[in-house]
Amino acid sequence: MNFEICEEFKENFYEVHDFHGLIETKKINLKSSWVFKAIAKNNKKWSPKNLQKFLDTLPNCYQICSPELYERYTEVAKANFIEALYFYTQENSHIESMTGRDTSNTSENIGHELYKLRLADIHSYSCLRDLYDLDDPHIKKYKKTEQFLNEEENLDWGKYLEARKELISYFTADKDFTFKMMLLLGTLNIDEEGDYKFYQINDVSSEYSDIHAEEAYKTGEAFFFEKFLDGVEEKYANEALSNIRKTKRALDLLKVDPYKYIFNEKNRTEFGTYDRYSDLFTSNKSTWDHQKKITMVLPGHKVGVSSMIGASKLISKYQKFFDPKDIKTLKKKRFFYGRKIQLTCKKAFMLSDDDSKKYHHWLDKNDRSIFPHKY
């Protein structure tokens, strides 16, 4: 690491020291608690597109292509995450459909993780109980339920278990979430004939779709109730079933494609955007030197920042090339939620490719609970 995290942002990071023999390397990791709290705090006012933009600003391990996080993102963002994931996978499945080329982050990873998703597991390993400082009614319910364990004198284990069960209605009573989750599962290919096809995600959103919407719906309904709700008490499974079928009847009356009606095209982000791979962005006028691996930024050119890491890189290494007032304003942006902030360069400088690229978050023992398959 050859830059320092800005003092104003340090509370959201922690240091990791890596040793190889006598060589010590200091690394900075973004706190997962900050990521989840940011989503939980803003989810009601964010659209799926806003959520996708926020995830794109984070180190790669936190982005939507990290299947290990799907349980946690499903929990804290629910329908917003499902819709963002739908568009992400549909972009890839369209490529597969048109070229016959398998894209690993769709077929091997994402499809496989979707097939394994269980609501009972999401509920059992909930992180919502760790987000008590957020003013959210459902999170407060978790807090109240957990208090049963701290009241040892009057502890009623039956009441505690019953209260825990009721918390799952947070998912099953949510019509938007249950229907979108069911539709997303409907994109999975269940042909076990060959390794290439099994788990592959079908293209259902383009004019060259692999599968008809009604057929995908039937697949999704089967997956939802046989797989996703496996282990969920009958009362809550029936609640989800009732909500889904009411929504489907309403759409049938409208005679619309459930996928095109439910997943709003305005929430589709541009796939393969540069933002997903960069911490600092330069204007089109800037000149990139392929041999030296630098970008020449001249006076008047714009440099964009959309994350605390990107801001820290700019402040610790390049602030002398910008107006001090702009740097002061950047430091006050304590929370970066996907909005790109552009600063105008005052003096020419060379921006290193290494600084422009997305910072790599090296996983350590603190990450085991959210990236269990990486260990």
pLDDT at 130: 79
Q: Write down the pTM of the prediction.
A: 0.89
Give the mean pLDDT of the chain: 87
pLDDT at position 100: 67
Buried b (16+ CB within 10 A) or exposed e, 248-286: eeebeeeeebbbeebbeeebbbeeeeebbebbbbbbeeb
Structure tokens at 26: 């200091």
pLDDT in tens, 257-315: 999 999 998 998 876 677 788 999 987 777 887 788 889 999 999 999 999 999 999 99
Q: What's the angle, vertex CA 147, arms to CA 145 and CA 152, rounded to 5?
A: 125
**pLDDT tens readout for residues 43-81:** 999 999 999 999 999 999 999 888 889 999 999 999 999
364-373 pLDDT tens trace: 888 887 877 6
Q: What is the pLDDT of residues 163-201, one digit of tens each?
A: 778 889 999 999 999 999 999 999 998 765 555 555 688
Average pLDDT score over residue span 317-324:
96
Burial of 105 (0-12, 13-18, 19+ CB in 10 A): middle
